[in-house]
Structure 1
Amino acid sequence: MKPLRALALSAFFLAPALAAAADIDGARLSMLWGVPFAGVLLSIALLPLLAPHFWHRHFGKVTAAWSLAFLVPFAIVFGPAAATAGFAHALLAEYLPFVILLAALFTVAGGIYIRGNLQGSAGLNVGLLAIGAVLASFMGTTGASMLLIRPLIRANDGRKHITHVVVFFIFIVSNAGGSLTPLGDPPLFLGFLKGVDFFWTLQHIWPETLFIVSVLLALFFALDAWFWRQPGERLAADPTPDTAPETFGFDGKVNFALLAVVVGLVLMSGLWKSDVQWNVAGTVVGLPGLVRDAGLILVTLVSLALTPGQVHEDNQFSWGPMQEVAKLFAGIFLTIIPVIAMLKAGVNGPFGAIVSAVTRADGSPDPAMYFWASGLLSSFLDNAPTYLVFFNTAGGDPVTLMTTHAATLAAISAGSVFMGANTYIGNAPNLMVKAIAEDRGVAMPSFFGYMLWSVGILMPLFVVITFIWLR
């Protein structure tokens, strides 16, 4: 079992950068290479419904099995040396930075307890969602989600219907709210690293963001107010009743400063240019990234050391949601490699029809098609590399994209961020919020059940955005 376990762990740490490390030509790949990725998605979608007990006990093993279904053939076809180099590159340059950042935000936000007998009325819930939407563009969708999801659930723990509250939270705070700055969502941060001005997205897609957030808040208020008025909605056994008033305030305040440090470290790693670097097993490790990751680990440890135990107890803090997301996304990152490689092959690859569809007959880019292509693929693939694929398809020159083809860059940015809300795997915070909610006893929709919400609510809004801003 030990060799199998070691191989499974190796599979977990492989990520999209493996495609570059092995120099895979996506134009030569068969669509069959996408089967393991489809298997991971179908497992996440179906097994919690068909075999819930088995899934909750063995989801890590299932993900590892699909990862091996890609890794073993990859090593056979491209050679063990390429797999080893890919493992080193992915471990140091992709997966560890991802997990370290997520763990830091999860720990710091979990160390902040918002005191007070918050009662989840429609007005209070809308206020929390609106605050989260604003915070998301400045502390990231992950940071804002981790900070507010616990108090939001606690505020509604005396209600019969809570599921819709968490679903709209994912729509607004975990996705749409992060569309205005590079700090908000990973795709925009990658664009910033490519040369897009820091405030460019704020200047160019604020109308679309204001529209979708405002409409979602209005829809949520109408639905939540309707539930609030229903007989039996407010449960008799409210864990935080009005008869036990608690002064509003914050415990674990040191974590606000640590949260600012996290944002600063991430921004620093994108702005700081250094020639100091090391070659570790063929992977270049730069000083800015190393300082960022070391700083995030230190922030995590400081938060755990300084946060009073009572705060973690009040927040019902546990590592279960973090472990679940880390394992599932590791399998997704691994098995997505050939899919991203096929997309990068452009018109010569298996997805050539998609790439061709975003270009008009006269050769100019079609913003509406870029919006839908980048958005729909971001719903199921990692939205960061998907953004880069279409950024490069549109020319890859940030100056041209910010001026001549500004509508196209706006479409790619909006599509990658907004449509990350279409599925649980479209953006990392989605699955994290789902895991925390389920850990608190909230009955969340299944994979396809959640998509019924997104298709019914979000898709019509995307159509309106297309006709108003992307024609």
Structure 2
Amino acid sequence: MSIMLPVASGSPTEIPPALIIPFGLLLLLIAVMPLSPARVKHFWEHYYPFVALGLGLVVGAYYLLQVPAGGTTILHTVQEYFSFICLIGSLFVVAGGIHLKVRGSASPVENVVFLTVGALATNLIGTTGASMLLIRPWIRMNQPRITAYHIVFFIFIIANCGGALTPIGDPPLFLGYLRGVPFFWLVEHAMLPWLGCLGLLLGVFYLIDRRNFIRLDPALRARAEAADTWRFEGGVNVLFLLVIVGAVFLPSVPFLREGVMIAAAVASYRLTAAGVHGKNEFSFGPIKEVAWLFIGIFLTMMPALDYLGQHGREFGFAHPLQYFFSTGALSAVLDNAPTYLNFLKLAEASLVAPGAGVAALLVEAPRFVVAVSLGAVFFGAMTYIGNGPNFMVKSIAESANVKVPTFFGYVFKYSLPVLLPILALVGWLFVR
């Protein structure tokens, strides 16, 4: 995920498949280490920055020494990472300065309304901004009965699937906007699959949440509802939030966007009352974890993306569903922005005349653009590393003492049995 235009396919030099091993190893460590015995887990918590950066430097050294123009590829990757961390970091800081006190013991209907409003908000302030703004109120309003599935469905809907209609909603779509996809094109062409996906997710959530709500101790429910109040603090940060979103559309002057985002975050942190940060239990721990892990992910995934760019045409993709699931499969474990861009270019190269560009693709093969766009956004919810906000939501929930699924628990208990069938149905109904 990033807001800068990445190199689509890297160097023409053949990338050895073995160079993808550091990327796979890093993903494996992220998945396995939290499940390890206490001593090993403690070691990982202290040294994961060195592991992530070390694996990234191994790949970077190969690119510098063995790949022509490898330095350029690394430079673009580092720029992309810098934009990524400035965007999600600034949104994290600013959202941490807004305190929403909402009703406790929320009913299933109230929860569905909250998630629906959050999904709409993602298209205005992005999945990262909406996630950081709403995850703490979501935890507080469900505090008497908060469980793992509350966090999982928040990630499914607000951190991912909700932001599929505008370039602001999710960074892959902003890359499409830079490549020539009109701002409201997906609103026109992807509204039905978006509504279908959102409706199915909300329906499943309602059934699970209703069962959980019925089991809640009536006395505990009454006590929580008796203390219900609504309060909004940190209003100045709404302005800073708008500044960050607006910075996305600034001219592509080096570091201009990032500078505005950093300035907004610094001003927000200094102007926000300490009491608001205290109520939000704000700390830099979650963004620190994301920053270190994703520098490793960005560097080690270069060979995987370059290999795809070199061999993608060999896959012989000719149907929208192939693009939907292939883009989605990689977006679940790779960074979804360059994955989106690679498959968009693959579709352009395969389906329209050479040099015709994205404009021709939008006219001659619009379903393929929808397939790539929705695959990149929707499937980012399949794992904790599929989209930047996922890991941050997980970290914030853990810091609030909410029990969340492990990496494999998330995938095997929720993503595969719940999310994947919904996405498959949406693809079959609306994308094929």
| Residue 52 of structure 1 pairs with residue 35 of structure 2 | no
Q: Per-residue deviation at 1:86?
A: 5.2
| Residue 316 of structure 1 pairs with residue 278 of structure 2 | no
Q: Tell me the SS of whatever aligns to 1:250.
A: strand
Q: Which residue of 2 aligns with 1:440?
A: 400
CA offsets, 1:199-224, max 9 Å, x none?
A: 00111111001011011111101101
Q: Which amino acid aligns with 2:51?
A: V
Q: Which amino acid aligns with 1:152?
A: W
Q: Which residue of 1 aligns with 2:121?
A: 135
Mapped partners of 2:427, 2:82: distance in 1: 37
Q: Tell me the SS of whatever aligns to 2:11.
A: coil
Q: Which residue of 2 aligns with 1:187?
A: 172
Q: Which residue of 2 aligns with 1:454?
A: 415
State how 1:93-132 maps to structure 2 within 5 Å.
93-132=79-118
Mapped partners of 1:347, 1:262: distance in 2: 35
Mapped partners of 2:394, 2:65: distance in 1: 37
Q: Which residue of 2 aligns with 1:10?
A: none
Q: Which residue of 1 aligns with 2:204?
A: 219
Calculate percent identity across the aligned residue pairs.
Answer: 39
Q: Which amino acid aligns with 2:426?
A: I
Q: Which amino acid aligns with 1:97?
A: S
Contact 1:132 1:173 in 2 (8 A): yes
Mapped partners of 1:380, 1:235: distance in 2: 40
Mapped partners of 1:413, 1:89: distance in 2: 22
Q: Tell me the SS of whatever aligns to 2:144.
A: coil
Q: Which residue of 2 aligns with 1:24?
A: 11
State how 1:150-189 maps to structure 2 within 5 Å.
150-159=136-145, 161-189=146-174
CA offsets, 1:88-114, max 9 Å, x none?
A: 5444x2222211111110011111101
Contact 1:368 1:466 in 2 (8 A): yes
CA offsets, 1:58-77, max 9 Å, x none?
A: 22122123223323344443
Mapped partners of 2:186, 2:162: distance in 1: 12
Q: Tell me the SS of whatever aligns to 2:100.
A: strand
Mapped partners of 1:346, 1:72: distance in 2: 23
Contact 1:128 1:148 in 2 (8 A): no
State how 1:369-388 maps to structure 2 within 5 Å.
369-388=322-341
Q: Which amino acid aligns with 1:221?
A: Y
Mapped partners of 2:403, 2:5: distance in 1: 32
Contact 2:5 2:175 in 1 (8 A): no
Mapped partners of 1:19, 1:71: distance in 2: 17
Q: Per-residue deviation at 1:32?
A: 0.3
Contact 1:370 1:412 in 2 (8 A): yes
- Structure 2 residue aligned with 1:229, among 200, 214, 217? 214
Mapped partners of 2:178, 2:48: distance in 1: 35
Deviates more, 1:183-192 or 1:56-65: 56-65
Q: Per-residue deviation at 1:371?
A: 0.7
- Structure 2 residue aligned with 1:333, among 298, 302, 309? 298
| Residue 304 of structure 1 pairs with residue 269 of structure 2 | yes
Compared CA separation, residues 241 and 193, structure 1 to 2 (3 A): same
Contact 1:16 1:90 in 2 (8 A): no
| Residue 259 of structure 1 pairs with residue 248 of structure 2 | no
Mapped partners of 2:102, 2:328: distance in 1: 39
Q: Per-residue deviation at 1:433?
A: 0.7
Compared CA separation, residues 152 and 467, structure 1 to 2 (3 A): same
Mapped partners of 1:265, 1:76: distance in 2: 36
Mapped partners of 1:102, 1:234: distance in 2: 40
Mapped partners of 1:61, 1:234: distance in 2: 49
Q: Which amino acid aligns with 1:334?
A: L
Mapped partners of 2:219, 2:159: distance in 1: 27
Compared CA separation, residues 74 and 233, structure 1 to 2 (3 A): farther
Compared CA separation, residues 68 and 369, structure 1 to 2 (3 A): same
CA offsets, 1:415-467, max 9 Å, x none?
A: 11111111111111111111111111112111111112111111111221232
| Residue 427 of structure 1 pairs with residue 413 of structure 2 | no
Q: Which amino acid aligns with 1:403?
A: V
Mapped partners of 1:90, 1:369: distance in 2: 27
Mapped partners of 1:43, 1:234: distance in 2: 44
Compared CA separation, residues 245 and 219, structure 1 to 2 (3 A): closer
CA offsets, 1:246-289, max 9 Å, x none?
A: 4x1210001111111111111x23xx4xxxxxxxxxxxxx52x5
- Structure 1 residue aligned with 2:232, among 218, 239, 250? 250
Contact 2:95 2:133 in 1 (8 A): yes
TM-score normalised by L of structure 2: 0.91
Mapped partners of 1:309, 1:376: distance in 2: 42
Mapped partners of 1:455, 1:302: distance in 2: 42
Mapped partners of 1:345, 1:78: distance in 2: 14
Q: Per-residue deviation at 1:25?
A: 2.4
RMSD of aligned alpha carbons: 2.4
Deviates more, 1:166-175 or 1:450-459: 450-459
Query: Unaligned regions of 5+ residues in structure 2, if any?
Result: 350-356
TM-score normalised by L of structure 1: 0.83
Mapped partners of 2:278, 2:106: distance in 1: 21
Mapped partners of 1:124, 1:347: distance in 2: 45
Q: Per-residue deviation at 1:470?
A: 2.6
Q: Which amino acid aligns with 1:460?
A: P
Mapped partners of 1:241, 1:64: distance in 2: 46
Mapped partners of 1:41, 1:233: distance in 2: 43
Mapped partners of 1:58, 1:233: distance in 2: 46
Mapped partners of 1:385, 1:333: distance in 2: 10
Query: Unaligned regions of 5+ residues in structure 1, if any?
Result: 1-14, 273-285, 360-365
Mapped partners of 1:340, 1:235: distance in 2: 51
